[in-house]
Amino acid sequence: MSQMTTTLTRSEIRRVSALRKVRFREICETTARIDNKRPAIKLARLFIRYLVRAVGYGAAARALGLILRTIRWKAATRETRYIRYLMELNKLRIEYMDSLAGNDLYSATLKKNQWAEFALRNSMSPASRWAARGYLSLLSRHGFYNASDVVFPRMDIRTVSETKFYIYGPNAGSPPSIKYKDHVLVLMKPIAADVSLYRGAVLFLNSVYYNGVVCKNDKLSYEITNKYGKLYVNCRRAGLPPPFIRSKFPMGGDIASAQGLGRVLYNLIRQYGKFSCVIEGFDLYLKPTVYGSYYPALLRDKHGMLIESAICHSLVDHDALYNFLYIKELAGMLDIVDSADFRRIIELSGERYLDELSKVRNFASIR
Give the per-residue pLDDT at 91. 98
pLDDT in tens, the chain (367 residues): 433 344 444 444 444 444 446 789 999 999 888 999 999 999 999 999 999 999 999 999 999 999 999 887 766 789 999 999 999 999 999 999 999 999 999 999 999 999 999 999 999 999 999 999 999 999 999 999 987 666 666 777 889 999 999 999 999 999 999 999 999 999 999 999 999 999 999 999 999 899 889 999 999 999 999 999 999 999 877 678 899 999 998 888 999 999 999 999 999 999 999 999 999 999 999 999 889 888 887 777 776 677 899 999 999 999 999 999 999 999 999 999 999 999 999 999 999 999 999 999 999 999 8
Give the per-residue pLDDT at 75. 64
Give the per-residue pLDDT at 2. 39
Give the per-residue pLDDT at 5. 41
Give the per-residue pLDDT at 4. 39
Taking a C-beta distance cutoff of 8 angstroms, is the pair 174, 281 a contact?
Answer: no
Q: Which CB contacts under 8 angstroms, 24+ apart, belong to 74-81?
A: 78/33, 78/34, 78/124, 79/34, 79/38, 79/40, 79/41, 81/124
Give the per-residue pLDDT at 225. 94
* Furthest C-alpha separation in the chain: 68
Give the per-residue pLDDT at 280. 97
Give the per-residue pLDDT at 300. 74
Give the per-residue pLDDT at 293. 85
Distance CA 94, CA 256 (A): 15
Distance CA 166, CA 275 (A): 11
Give the per-residue pLDDT at 219. 93
The number of beta carbons lying within 10 Å of the beta carbon of residue 9 is 14
